[in-house]
Amino acid sequence: MHEHDLDLIAALADGSLDDDTEARALVESCPECRAEYESQMTVIRLLASTPGAEMTDAERAAVHRYLWTELRASPARSSSSPWYRWGYAAAGLFVLVGLVAVLNGGLQLGGGESGAAESFSEVADNATDEGGGQVPLAGVPEEGSGPTTTAAAAAESLPYPFSDYAAETRAKRQDVDAATAPTARVEDEECLERLGLDSQQVVDRLDLDQVYLVLMPAEDGAGETVTFVALGECRIAYVDG
């Protein structure tokens, strides 16, 4: 068999030929080629029928426990894994959103996209009005103890394991099915620039494309703060969900 024949047989077995006429003719006319092809197909079928391995429940729990423990214990590496730090801040802000909703007499997070967008805009406005639009992260010096305490307490009391927290958050965000909602990635960098933001700063999505939590340098240069920013005008790519 020539190298070309082997290539054809391999391509036929892989199903990667647009036109398999030549390959099929080869297999039909050359017993050696047919044996090679059938051997390939037999292995393919055998492997395809082999079930994938799965972790046992105990192994899965151990893996999750290890991961969340490692990720929670990694503040020293926060410069290379800022999601951890941001995640805590976001947790604080979710709580704050809830508080604002309660204070406003029961903010309706559900009820359709337009209504939700309006409500979130109101949340953003309210947050800006009440706290300069910024909520300090735990441990970051900031004037005013209310929001700081809320964010810090929320960060410290973040439920464990995270899946519980995720379920709780989903229940709170009644208008967004977080289980199926994709993760957003801001692709319109120019739009972000107009808002004075960097895509890496967008840390969480509160509404489908309306309001984001954004990590910002503190005005006094000491640490970072998180603020609500409406990014509805920026193009969003959904990369997961």
Partner 1 sequence: VLTGDREAFDSVLRAHEDRVFSVCLRILGNRDNALDATQDTFLTVFRKAAQFQGRSALGTWIYRIAVNTCYDQIRRAQRRPVEPLPDHIDPSDPNAEERIESAALRPEIDRALATLPIEFRNAVILSDLEGLSLPEVAEVLGVPVGTVKSRVFRGRRILAQRLGNQITP
Instruction: Verify binding: residue 202, partner 1, rule CB under 8 A.
Output: yes
Would you say the C-alpha torsion 126, 132, 98, 204 has a positive or negative sign? positive
Burial of 198 (0-12, 13-18, 19+ CB in 10 A): middle
Q: Quick check: helix, strand or coil at residue 229?
A: strand
Task: Tell me if 4 contacts partner 1 by CB under 8 A.
Answer: no
Who's near 35: CB < 8 A, 6+ residues apart?
Answer: none
- Which residue number, 100 or 206, has a Cβ lying nearer to partner 1? 206
Reference 111, options 45, 173, 38, 201; nearest CA is 173
DSSP 198: -
- How far apart CA 175 and CA 148 sit, in angstroms, is 27
Candidates 4, 39, 149, 156; binder of partner 1 (CB under 8 A) is 39
Interface with partner 1: number of residues (CB under 8 A): 68
Whether 240 contacts 223, CB under 8 Å: no
User: Looking at this protein, which amino acid is placed at residue 115?
Assistant: G
Q: Does 80 bind partner 1 (CB under 8 A)?
A: yes
Check binding of 165 to partner 1 (CB under 8 A): yes
Q: Which is nearer to partner 1, 29 or 80 (CB)?
A: 80
CB nearer to partner 1: pick between 87 and 147 = 87
Select the residue interacting with partner 1 from 96, 151, 154, 184 (CB under 8 A).
184
Name the one range near partner 1 by CB under 8 A: 133-141, 148-156, 202-210, 217-225.
202-210
Q: Per rule CB under 8 A, is residue 185 in the interface with partner 1? A: yes
In the complex with partner 1, the residue whose CB is nearer, 82 or 232, is 82
Q: Is the peptide bond before 31 cis (omega within 30 degrees of 0)?
A: no
Least Å distance, CB 105 to partner 1, is 28
Cα distance between residue 5 and residue 26, in whole Å: 8
203 touches partner 1 (CB under 8 A) = yes
Closest CB to partner 1 among 170 and 235?
Answer: 170
Instruction: Collect contacts of 78-81 with beta carbons under 8 A, ≥24 apart.
Output: none
Q: Which residues bind partner 1 (CB under 8 A)?
A: 6-7, 9-11, 13-14, 16, 36, 38-44, 46-48, 50-56, 58-60, 62-64, 66-67, 70-71, 74, 77, 80-84, 86-87, 90-91, 162-163, 165-166, 169-170, 178-179, 183-185, 199-200, 202-205, 237, 239-241
